[in-house]
Amino acid sequence: MPEQPPYLRIADELRRRIAEREWEPGDRLPSRAQIGQEYGVGDNVVRRAQELLISQGVLEGRAGSGTYVAEPRQRVRVVRSSAREQLSGSPFRADMKAVGRQGDWESRTEAKVPAPAEIARRLGIAEGELCVRTAYEFLADGRPVQLSTSWEPYDLTAGTLVVLPEGGPHAGAGVVNRMAEIGITVTHAVEQPEPRQATAEEASLLGIQKGALVTHIRRTYYSDQGRPVETADIVVPAALCEIVYEIPISRQPRTTSAPDRAGNSGEPR
């Protein structure tokens, strides 16, 4: 069996000492040099161990102050479900209310942004065609817990009251309901989740360590004509949120089965 990397061994040791209450929530850990000397490893090994525990929510780093044992906090449940798109109000706010937290979001919209190659491919348009781009920061009790960047083809909504996702009379209504206002029926969405490390910008916005584990969800909404009407990149940090997929089940009506060889109809008696 290959030997465990040194930083994982140090992470396990730090986690054990926290579990045994040697360090309490809010306590400042010894310096990296002190920990490294104690375990006979270099500062870089201790740094990697601490970054791993920060990404898992066990520790938290404070710029210019050091590394501390994180206060226990409830992870936010993020529910992904097509059925929730039809509800009035915001599913995110409903999720937050269910765990006793205040849900909200901030957004920044830019119209007529040329589509990058990847976004153009997902929307089925030519690279450089104009889009409406909206960046979201979703907040729980005022703290960011999720990021999203949405792209919509500009020619789809230009000149209508729904051209700005967070502006006008239908602000915040969601893609499905906004598109319905201009006669477009959204029938389904496709999501592709994959784990990766947070970028420096994402880490800064979410208040997590650079390189911390996140789930990147590429979501695209389609109309009943098969046209992509919106695509988004959603970033969910593992330390702050858990993702739950809710799958609606349509129960099919029972049909009378054919008689078996003994002449039974198959119906219960």
Nearest Cα to Cα of residue 136 among 163, 183, 103, 161? 103
Mean pLDDT of 227-244: 91
**Does the pLDDT of residue 251 top 70, yes or no?**
yes
- The rounded distance, in Å, linking the Cα atoms of 46 and 36 is 6
| pTM of the predicted model as reported, rounded to 2 decimal places | 0.70
**Does the pLDDT of residue 65 top 80, yes or no?**
yes
- Residue 15: per-residue pLDDT: 93
**Does the pLDDT of residue 265 top 60, yes or no?**
no
- The rounded distance, in Å, linking the Cα atoms of 47 and 61 is 11
CA pseudo-torsion sign 204, 207, 208, 213:
negative
- The rounded distance, in Å, linking the Cα atoms of 86 and 79 is 14
Nearest Cα to Cα of residue 111 among 167, 185, 177? 167
- Residue 269: per-residue pLDDT: 44
- Residue 51: per-residue pLDDT: 87
pLDDT band at 2 (very low <50, low <70, confident <90, very high): low
- The rounded distance, in Å, linking the Cα atoms of 199 and 175 is 27
- Residue 260: per-residue pLDDT: 54
